[in-house]
Amino acid sequence: MDNHRNTYVSQVRNDLAMLISAQKREEETLRNIKNMKFSPEILQKKQSDMKASITKRAESIFILEQREQDFISGKLDNEIKQEIKKNTDNFNSRLNIAMKKKKDVEKEEEEKKVKMTAHKQQSYERNPSKDHAYYYKVFLKARETFPNYMKENLTEMPNNKGYIWRDCWFFGDKPEEPGQPTVMFDKKRGGVMHIHEIDIHEHRIFEKVGKDKKKLISRVPRKIKSISKINTLVRRR
């Protein structure tokens, strides 16, 4: 509390210094105004206005001096605590709004990516030779930068689990786990991990931050035209 109290005392003293400086300037002007060439009526009006301003400012100075002493003595500690709580609540509120907006944008981007992937897959199924060369180049570039620890992990992972790296999917070396969904790990910035779980019905995306529990951020139904297509899926790494 001492640090917070000192901060408020410092703010009050700064305000006091400005008021006292302004008061001295106006008092000096009031003393010298008689020497200025004003008509009696205007001179009287200016003197009256200055005296009123000086009186009002003196009241403000008195109040601030009293608050300075009250802050120093701890009399206003409850006011400080309330102000700190108010500022903290406002900050947390703005932070939550910003985080929600960020997650909404990320969710929208993920859903677009899932839909785009599905669209590309459908396009490829209609004309596989058209995009084969392009996507093979994309895959080769991704493989060149694929982290070594992920490569090592893949040797111990089943073929229905793996990593997403630069939009390319790398699957485990071991036989897939029968009856289990495809699970892909997509590492993001800031210690965020997106976990894709895909079965014949839907594509779910979870978000996991650090050691926190994963949270569902996206769920997109899959449109499967026939079971034969499911059985003909080939996973490659």
Q: What pTM, to 2 d.p., does this model score?
A: 0.43
pLDDT digits (tens, 9 = 90+) for 102-132: 888 888 888 888 877 776 666 656 665 556 7
Residues 160-201 have pLDDT tens digits of 999 999 989 999 999 999 999 999 999 998 889 999 999 989
Over its C-alpha atoms, the chain yields an Rg (Å, rounded) of 35
Instruction: Return the pLDDT at 150.
Output: 95
Q: Distance between CA atoms of 1 and 13, rounded to whole angstroms?
A: 18
Indicate if the pLDDT at residue 225 is higher than 50: yes
* Four-CA torsion 23, 26, 30, 36, nearest 10 degrees: 170
The interaxial angle of helices 77-126 and 128-145, nearest 10 deg, is 140
Residue 118 or 150, more confident: 150
Say which amino acid occupies 13.
R
Q: Are 195 and 208 in contact (CB under 8 A)?
A: yes
Q: Is 232 a residue whose pLDDT tops 50?
A: no
Q: CA 196 to CA 108: how far, in whole Å?
A: 15
To the nearest whole number, what is the mean pLDDT of the chain? 86
CA 30 to chain centre: 54
Per-residue pLDDT, 111: 83
Q: Which residue has the tokens 């008195």?
A: 62
Considering Cα of 206, then 207, then 210, then 214, what sign does the dihedral take?
Answer: negative
Render pLDDT for 14-45 as a digit per residue (tens, 0 to 9): 999 999 999 999 999 998 888 888 888 898 99
